[in-house]
């Protein structure tokens, strides 16, 4: 993944052989779980066959948020996201943006509930090679810790794992859309 830096952000762009032609896949990394008080630090998305990740590098969120508002406003809707209500709440609370979402998690939650099982995490449905091989990998829980460490040291190398995690989540969400399209093509899935 080639990463370039401009002003208050790092950006990674990948042209892919597959894509999303109606809508966009979206994923964010945040400083916590509360959309009213925590902040967005990473935005990743796939539109058409372009994957892009925009990583905040500044302590102040204003410039970064202005950039995100412009990008998110112009992305094709609906937005496909695993646990889309999380992204939807953050985009509304932090950026004032309302978009239609398709929650890629919802059908799996419903199936798990019908079988009396716990709700599946994205890791449960689509694993990464690192999981199989027992290699280190960054989880969503570690992203706020990496961000906090970055703010203390301003070492940009701490941001790459956050971006890699975001990329993985976006690609695994895309896999679910491609592998199980019948779960997401039904009317009434918008949130």
Q: What is the mean pLDDT of each run of 10 residues along the chain (191 residues)?
A: 75 94 96 96 98 97 96 96 96 96 94 94 93 91 97 96 97 95 69 54
Unique residue bearing structure tokens 């690192």: 130
Q: Does domain 3-183 have CATH number 3.30.420?
A: yes
pTM: 0.92
Domain spans, the chain? 3-183
Position 184 scores a pLDDT of: 84
pLDDT at 187: 52
| Residue 131 exposed, middle or buried by CB count within 10 Å (0-12, 13-18, 19+) | exposed
């Amino acid at each position: 993944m080639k990463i370039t830096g401009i002003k208050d952000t790092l950006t990674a762009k990948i042209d892919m052989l597959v894509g999303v032609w109606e809508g966009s896949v979206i994923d964010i990394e945040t400083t916590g779980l509360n959309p009213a008080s925590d902040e967005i630090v990473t935005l990743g998305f796939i539109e058409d066959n372009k994957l892009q990740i925009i990583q905040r590098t500044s302590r102040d969120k204003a410039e970064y948020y202005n950039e995100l508002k412009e990008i998110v406003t112009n992305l094709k809707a609906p937005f496909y996201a695993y646990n889309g209500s999380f992204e939807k709440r953050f985009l509304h609370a932090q950026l004032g943006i309302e978009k239609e979402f398709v929650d890629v998690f919802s059908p799996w939650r419903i199936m798990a509930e019908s079988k009396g099982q716990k709700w599946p995490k994205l890791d449960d449905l689509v694993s990464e090679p690192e999981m199989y091989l027992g290699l280190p990998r960054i989880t969503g829980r570690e992203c706020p810790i990496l961000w906090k460490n970055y703010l203390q040291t301003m070492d940009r190398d701490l941001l790459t794992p956050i971006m890699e995690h975001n990329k993985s989540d976006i690609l695994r969400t895309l896999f679910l859309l491609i592998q199980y399209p019948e779960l997401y093509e039904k009317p009434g899935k918008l949130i």
